[in-house]
Every structure is written in C-alpha cells, then in structure tokens.
Structure 1
C-alpha cells in the first residue's frame, strides 16, 4: 500500500452493506505532480489506495490485501473534481467491492479479497 493522504471527504453515508463517500479531488494533491505535465490525472494506484483504506477502516478489516480480482479504469479522474466512492462488503467471502463515479460517469471499479489469518499475503520491503 502506498499510504497516500486521503482527499477531502465532503460527505459520508451508510446504505446497508455499503458506505458512500463524496470526495473532492483538489488540484494541489501531490499525486498530480508529474502525472502528467500536459494534463494532470489522479493515478490509479492512489484511487486503489483510497478505496482500500476507507473500506478497511469502515468495515473493520486490517489493510492486508490477498488478491486484487478485478480492477478497471474507465475514465480519467482530473484535478478539482468531485466524485462518489461507493464501497460494499461481501462479508462471507471477505471481499470489498468499490466504484468511483459521478452520476452516469464511471471512473474506476474493483473487487479485492482481504487477507485473513489463514490467507498468505505477499510482503514487500
């Protein structure tokens, strides 16, 4: 995990097995530096990190990922934009499912399995 700082959370609501955040993606976030000079774009690894951190925090999981099953980036997330991040849980399978969107616009989505005590994880140094 890259341990990035989180964006400004404009709102947060719980909806059953899901948590929904409205986020402001400020242009002065350091993740835009050099990614890319002609048109700054929020890196996918930052989007993934935010979903993992916020999902694990809300649902009470340690931030250990066993498998990244699905990851799709559909549209670019640009500076000074607002997006919705919805994260849901599949508790029996220890999975988090997330998606970034704004109305009909889809930015990114993914599904990941969280490591449990019996699930081996890869450690990086």
Structure 2
C-alpha cells in the first residue's frame, strides 16, 4: 500500500453492504504535482488506494489485498471536482467492489479481493 492521505470527505452514508463517500478532489492535493504539469490528473493508483483504505476501514478488514479484478479507469479525474466513491461488500467472497462517479459520469471501478479474516480495525469517516 502506498503512503497517502485521504481527500476531504464531504459526506458519508452507508447501508448494510455498501458505503458512499462524497469526496472533494482539491487542486492542492500533492498527487497532482508532476502528474502532469500541463494537465493535472489524479493518478489511478491514488484512486485505488483511497478505495482500499476507506472500504477496508468501513467493513472491518485489515488492508491485505490478494488481487485486483476488472480494474477500469474510464475518465480522467481532474482537480477541483467532487466525486462519489461507492464501495460494496461481498462478505462470502471477501471482496470489495468500488466505483467513482459523479451522476452518470463514471471515473473508475473495480473489485478488490482480500486476504485473511475480517478483523476489526478502527473506522474513520
């Protein structure tokens, strides 16, 4: 897992097997530095890291990724935008499914297969 900080969380809502975070993708996030100077874009690895951290914390998993499945980056995530991160949980398969979107606009999605048992960890929203 990369060392990163989470963006500003504007709002949070959850149901039994899903959680939604509204995120503020501010232009001053360090992830935009050098990626790319003329046209800053939030790196896909950062988007993946946030989905893993928030999803694992909310559903009580230690961060221990086995594999990534059907990972797709559909549109560029630009500075000064707001997006929804939706993470769904499949406890039987120990998988998290995530999607970044803003209304009908989809930015990225995928599935995260986890190793190990569902261990309680601190949840920070």
> Do they superpose with TM above 0.5?
yes
Q: What is the TM-score when the length of structure 1 is the normalising length? A: 0.92
- 1:102, distance to aligned residue in structure 2 (A): 0.2
Q: How big is the shift at 1:116? A: 1.1
* 2:16 is equivalent to residue 16 of structure 1: yes
Distance in 1 of aligned mates of 2:108 and 2:69: 14
Partner of 1:34: 34
Give 1:70 shift. 1.6
Matched residue SS, 1:101: strand
Cα deviation for residue 3 of structure 1 reads 2.3
**What is the CA RMSD across the aligned residues, in angstroms?**
0.8
> Offset at 1:16?
2.8
Q: CA deviation at 1:78?
A: 0.3
Name the TM-score, length of structure 2 as normaliser.
0.92
Contact 1:41 1:77 in 2 (8 A): yes
Unaligned runs of 5+ in 2: 118-125
Structure 1 gap ranges (5+): 118-125
3-state SS of 2:48 partner: helix
Q: What per-residue deviation string (whole Å, max 9, x for no partner) do you get for residues 1-33 of structure 1?
A: 112100000000012310000000010000000
Equivalenced residue count is 117
Structure 1: how far apart are the matches of 2:22 and 2:8? 9
* Regions of 4+ moved over 3 Å: none
